[in-house]
Amino acid sequence: MSRVVITGGTGFVGANLVRRLIQEGHQPALIVRPGHASWRIDSIREQIAVHEVILSDPFAVLKALDTLRPAWIFHLAAHGAYSWEKDAAQMIQTNVVGTANLLEAASKTGVEAFVHAGSSSEYGRLGHAPSETEAGQPDTPYAITKAAATALCAVARNASMRIRTLRLYSVYGPFEDPRRFLPSLIVHGLRGVLPPLVSPQTARDFVYVDDVLDAFLELALEENLETEFERREVNCDEAAMKAAEQIQFKPAQEGGRPVDFKTTVHIVFRLA
């Protein structure tokens, strides 16, 4: 059992990670921003510790980690990942300054593993699926700040603390924001209508959140990990239209029973 700090623990992936850590017997403590949305963690509030800390304040971050003394840190806090998050200054404060402050404090408080949630946006808009070692071409404020955070993690590596970055693609699963693509696709399908769709030439990679959690925990545990994770592309336009058509008729085939979220979304992969 380890003491674990999670930033971004009230977010979609973070809330799932907190639940996995609880299931596996760890002691999660969440570092959250003031005014955070708590709906994803309300049902487990008695099983976790929550500390309000502004990540751009280095003294507050150091004080929190010095008090908590975690063995692991999972750094998922970010701003700009959603299309409605457009404040570039906030992206710099959270994604760059916040990451730098966490790394500095972690190095002073005996943290064993620091796992950072990067982003596929760091690669930029490419005409092919990039390799993990390909140089990024970030072209938005969010992508640039996330690439900077990954670079900070790279230069901060030392013998006493394992620092790893996972560049996440399009994660889906429980607690995802209902405005995101796959929840919207399912809702439209159950209503019998198609959602607005993008060009057939637009490709996205999707990964189920449980697989992401497996990777996070593996990175925290492994001291010498050299793994290239499998990547699979899905043409969202064609697959989404086929999936929406299938989802539309699924309740009737199931006798009107609710459709399981994970099973339904996997239609996208089976039909792509």
Q: Which of 209, 215, 240, 213 is nearest to 227 (CA)?
A: 215
pTM for the whole structure? 0.81
Whether residue 240 has pLDDT greater than 50: no
8 A C-beta contact, residue 73 and residue 113: yes
pLDDT confidence of residue 225: 56
Tracing tokens 């399009």 back to the chain, one arrives at: 170
Six-digit token pair at 128?
């092919």
**For residue 202, is pLDDT > 80?**
no
| C-alpha distances out from residue 219 to 10, 20, 189, 226, 228, Å | 21, 15, 37, 10, 12
Pairing state of beta strands 170-172 and 162-168?
A: unpaired
Q: Tell me the domains of the chain and their CATH numbers.
A: 3-168 (3.40.50.720), 181-202+234-271 (no CATH)
Cβ atoms < 10 Å from Cβ of 175: 16
Of 53, 49, 164, the C-alpha closest to 103 is 164
Structure-token pair, residue 112:
């064993």
Cα angle 129-165-213, degrees, rounded to a multiple of 5: 90
- pLDDT tens digits along 25-37: 999 999 999 999 9
Q: Quickly list H helices, the chain.
A: 12-23, 58-68, 88-91, 98-108, 141-155, 181-191, 209-221, 236-253, 261-271
Section 112-123 average pLDDT: 94
Which pLDDT value is given to residue 226? 53
**pLDDT tens readout for residues 179-201:** 888 888 888 989 999 888 777 77
pLDDT score, position 149 = 97
What is the distance between the alpha carbons of residues 48 and 211, in angstroms, rounded to a whole number?
A: 23
| 237 or 77, which is more confident | 77
Does the pLDDT value for residue 18 go beyond 70? yes
- Within 8 A by CB and 6+ apart from 156, the residues are 103, 107, 163
Least confident of 20-24, 43-47, 85-89, 231-235: 231-235
Looking at residue 255, its pLDDT comes to 42
Q: Are 15 and 84 in contact (CB under 8 A)?
A: no
Task: Measure CA of the first residue to CA of the last residue in the chain; give whole Å.
Answer: 41
Classify residue 210 by burial, with Cβ atoms within 10 Å: 0-12, 13-18, 19+.
middle
Rounded distance between C-alpha atoms, residue 272 and residue 266, angstroms: 10
Report which DSSP code applies to 57: -
Distance of alpha carbon 174 from the chain centroid: 12
